[in-house]
């Protein structure tokens, strides 16, 4: 049996940085990863997909160059092999960077293999037994495949496998109208494929307010994406030319199908029962406000704990654990203000409460909206789709939430994120003097238009 001061299972966006921090403190740490360092973000999520999004945007801009007085001869051609290779290079550079970083650390042992608990202090991997007083789980999540008729009879794609495509689908059917599915839908439409989005619920991006969901649908439809919401009885069958996707109201002749109906935690094969670690009904590991599980000496970080499904929340889990365990701090997950983005174009930047949530809270609230068509930068760039929206507490004057669907919305939202984290009231933020011409310069104007609403 090999003994360590700590064992980290999973090399996503929390575990490796925590392991490195503990090594800096003089600890002996084992980092166990069953496949690739970097987790979903580096290998199948943010980095490769946003690289693909960038290629798709380049095609879109080139295709619409005449609007800006830039005329290109002939049709815009997409070389999917180059597109794929570019994304793969970004992934490999990041992964190899982690490999090199860890190789230079005394006290760090990286083990590739599948770890399972033998008891609360012991795990087995590759036929060896390891023990440590502290064990951290950062095992991430994977695509979930729903039990739909005929789904096992077709060769479907997931968000993991689709990034390896080096040919252009004739017609891509996307099952699921949430964040992952919508990004791929627009991306492949811009590459030149016909695209249909099939969503069981009544709206796309159902987490958002109805006005945001409707605006997202308008953006996608304007680019020629076929959207089917409220779809039931979804079924698949092989056809002579590909795959037939049938619903209660539509029949689609697709060449490829992307299943993007959510993700589930990679917790079902860790031997958690042997350690006594509790999970919820969806398989997420139950943690307290410090990310500790019900078993002393075991913590769960990142997607597998159900407290955030983003790279930045996973990294923040590392920050919380490191601060509490190594710096004597008392940081809490509940102090985190959730923010995220949807990387269609234009992007959606979101922070805090939706209008629906704010109304349900019973607070007296104020709301302001402003169309991107009234933003100078948007007009100059010829990208005026979308709008800004902010919600504030009428009594405390604190900002409760915001949504910016529009050009650079994923960056502009950070001004509001910072204000919310600092506890700044909206009247104070109104007096900032932002740079012109930018999208951010409209934030004080947006706040100045806040009006009380009836609950």
Return the active site residues: 436
> What are the φ/ψ torsions at residue 335 (nearest 5 degrees)?
-80, -10
Distance CA 186, CA 192 (A): 10
Cα–Cα dist 277/271, whole Å: 9
3-state SS string over the chain? Answer: CEECCEEEECCCCCHHHHHHHHHHCCCCEEEEECCCCCHHHHHCCHHHHHHHHHHHHHHHHHHCHHHHCCCCCCCCCCCHHHHHHHHHHHHHHHHHHHHHHHHCCCCEEEEECCCEEEECCEEEECCEEEECCEEEECCCEEECCCCCECHHHCCCECCCCHHHCCCCCCEEEEECCCHHHHHHHHHHHHHCCEEEEECCCCCCCCCCCHHHHHHHHHHHHHCCCEEECCCCCCEEEEECCEEEEECCCCEEEECEEEECCCEEECCCCCCHHHHCCCECCCCCECCCCCCECCCCCEEECHHHHCCCCCHHHHHHHHHHHHHHHHCCCCCCHHHCCCEEEECCCCCEEEEECCHHHHHHCCCCEEEEEEEHHHCHHHHHHCCCCCEEEEEEECCCCEEEEEEEECCCHHHHHHHHHHHHHHCCEHHHHHCCCCCCCCCCCHHHHHHHCCEECCC
Q: What CA–CA distance (Å, rounded) separates 189 from 405?
A: 20
Cis peptide before 93 (omega within 30 of 0): no
What's the chain's length in residues? 455
The pair of three-digit structure tokens given for residue 177, joined into one six-digit string: 């109208």
Contacts of 103 (CB under 8 A, 6+ apart): 110
**Alpha-carbon Rg of the chain, whole angstroms?**
24
């Amino acid at each position: 049996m090999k003994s360590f001061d700590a064992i980290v299972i999973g090399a996503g966006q929390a575990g490796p940085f925590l392991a490195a921090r503990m090594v800096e403190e003089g600890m002996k740490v084992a980092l166990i990863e069953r496949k690739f360092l970097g987790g979903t973000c580096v290998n199948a999520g943010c980095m490769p997909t946003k690289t693909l999004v960038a290629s798709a945007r380049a095609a879109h801009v080139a295709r619409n160059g005449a609007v800006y007085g830039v005329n290109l001869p002939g049709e815009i051609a997409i070389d999917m092999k180059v597109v794929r290779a570019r994304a793969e290079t970004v992934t490999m550079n990041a992964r190899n960077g982690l490999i090199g970083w860890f190789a230079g650390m005394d006290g760090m042992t990286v083990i590739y293999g599948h770890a399972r608990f033998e008891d609360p202090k012991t795990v087995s991997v590759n036929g060896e037994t390891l023990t440590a007083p502290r064990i951290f789980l950062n095992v991430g999540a994977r695509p979930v495949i729903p039990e739909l008729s005929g789904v096992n009879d077709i060769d479907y794609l997931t968000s993991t496998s689709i990034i390896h495509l080096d040919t252009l689908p004739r017609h891509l059917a996307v099952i699921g109208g949430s964040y992952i599915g919508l990004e791929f839908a627009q991306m492949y439409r811009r590459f030149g494929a016909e695209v249909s989005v099939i969503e069981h619920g009544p709206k796309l991006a159902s987490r958002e307010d109805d006005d945001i969901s409707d605006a997202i649908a308008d953006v996608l439809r304007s680019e020629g994406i076929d959207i089917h919401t409220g779809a039931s009885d979804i079924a698949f069958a092989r056809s002579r030319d590909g795959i037939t996707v049938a619903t209660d109201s539509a029949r689609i002749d697709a060449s490829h199908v992307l299943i993007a109906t959510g993700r589930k935690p990679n917790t079902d094969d860790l031997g958690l029962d042997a350690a006594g670690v509790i999970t919820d009904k969806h398989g997420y590991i139950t943690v307290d406000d410090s990310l500790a599980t019900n078993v002393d000496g075991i913590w769960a970080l990142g997607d597998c704990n159900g407290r955030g499904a983003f790279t930045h929340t996973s990294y923040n889990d590392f920050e919380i654990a490191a601060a509490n365990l190594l710096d004597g701090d008392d940081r809490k997950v509940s102090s985190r203000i959730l923010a995220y983005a949807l990387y269609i174009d234009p992007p959606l930047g979101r922070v805090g409460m939706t209008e629906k949530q704010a109304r349900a809270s019973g607070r007296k609230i104020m709301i302001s909206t402003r169309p991107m068509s009234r933003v100078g930068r948007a007009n100059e760039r010829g990208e005026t789709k979308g709008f800004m929206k902010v919600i504030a507490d009428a009594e405390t004057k604190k900002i409760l939430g915001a949504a910016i669907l529009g050009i650079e919305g994923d960056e502009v939202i950070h001004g509001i994120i910072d204000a919310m984290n600092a506890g700044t009231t909206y009247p104070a933020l109104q007096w900032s003097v932002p740079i012109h011409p930018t999208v951010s310069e409209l934030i004080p104007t947006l706040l100045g238009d806040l009006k009380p609403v009836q609950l």
